[in-house]
Amino acid sequence: MCIAILVSQSEPKNKDGPLVLVGLMGAGKSTIGRRLAARLNIGFVDADDEIELAAGLSIAEIFERYGEAHFRDGERRVIARLMEEGRQVIATGGGAFIDPDTRSAILANAIAIWLDADIATLAERVARRNHRPLLVGKDPATVLRDLADIRNPFYAQAHIHISSTPTPHVRTVERVVDELESRKLI
């Protein structure tokens, strides 16, 4: 198994800002984020957990009751608040970086790291849990392929792009750390 690393040409404006993980559902933002935070001895927060806490509802319930636009508005505000809390690892939901205002704020105030994986790997990972509103009643591979077609050009704007095949999470974390160190971001 191998891990390739691709690096965006843009440099982060805030080199001391939070590390914000972006990418499709199932890319490992939460799992790798927790391990990355532990490795760097900084805090970790999952934006989706914070949204649920603030709303008193699950993500699925927010989507069902109020729709995606309402969810994205809350998501934008929560991520902005989290970025104000200083250096930490923030895992975002798969659609967060697609929102132009959220993306602009992340690119200006944080170090955006795109965790990428092939569709088969993503589909296998998301099939383990049944909590993703965009997948309800649909084939995960088809949905993920369609989402990748739309979202990958946005994710490509992240400062760092880590592309991986199935491998132990610790190896992906080390690749992220190596890239951050080589760019003098940690």
- Domain membership flag for residue 118: yes
> Over the stretch 108-124, which tens digit does the pLDDT of each residue have?
999 999 999 999 988 88
Instruction: State how many domains the chain has.
Output: 1
CATH code of the domain in which 128 resides: 3.40.50.300
> Is residue 21 predicted with pLDDT exceeding 90?
yes
Residue 99 lies in a domain: yes
| Residue 74 resides in a domain | yes
Token readout for 17 is 């800002």
Tokens of 77: 């505000």
Tell me what percent of the residues of the chain surpass a pLDDT of 90: 70
Mean pLDDT of all residues in 7-29:
85
| The pLDDT of residue 6 is above 80 | no
Helix H or strand E encompassing 49 = helix 47-55
First to last CA, the chain: 27
SS (H, E, C) 15-77: CCCCEEEECCCCCCHHHHHHHHHHHHCCEEEEHHHHHHHHHCCCHHHHHHHHCHHHHHHHHHH
| Three-state DSSP class for residue 6 | strand
186 domain-assigned = no
Domain that holds residue 98: 3-181
27 in a known ligand binding site: yes
169 assigned to some structural domain: yes
Q: Mind listing the pLDDT tens digit for each residue in 140-184?
A: 899 999 999 999 999 999 999 998 667 888 999 999 999 999 999
87 labelled binding-site residue: no
- Closest Cα partner for 26 from 146, 116, 143, 145? 116
Q: Is 56 annotated as a binding residue?
A: no
Is 48 assigned a ligand-binding role in the annotation?
yes
Residue type, 100: P
Parallel, antiparallel or unpaired: strands 88-91 and 111-117: unpaired
**Residue 124 resides in a domain:** yes
Per-residue pLDDT at 139: 84
Q: Does residue 94 have a known ligand-binding role? A: yes
In a domain, 161, yes or no: yes
139 is in an annotated binding site: no
Tell me if 15 is assigned to some domain.
yes
Lowest mean pLDDT among 33-37, 46-50, 64-68, 131-135: 131-135
For residue 31, say whether it is annotated as part of any ligand binding site: yes
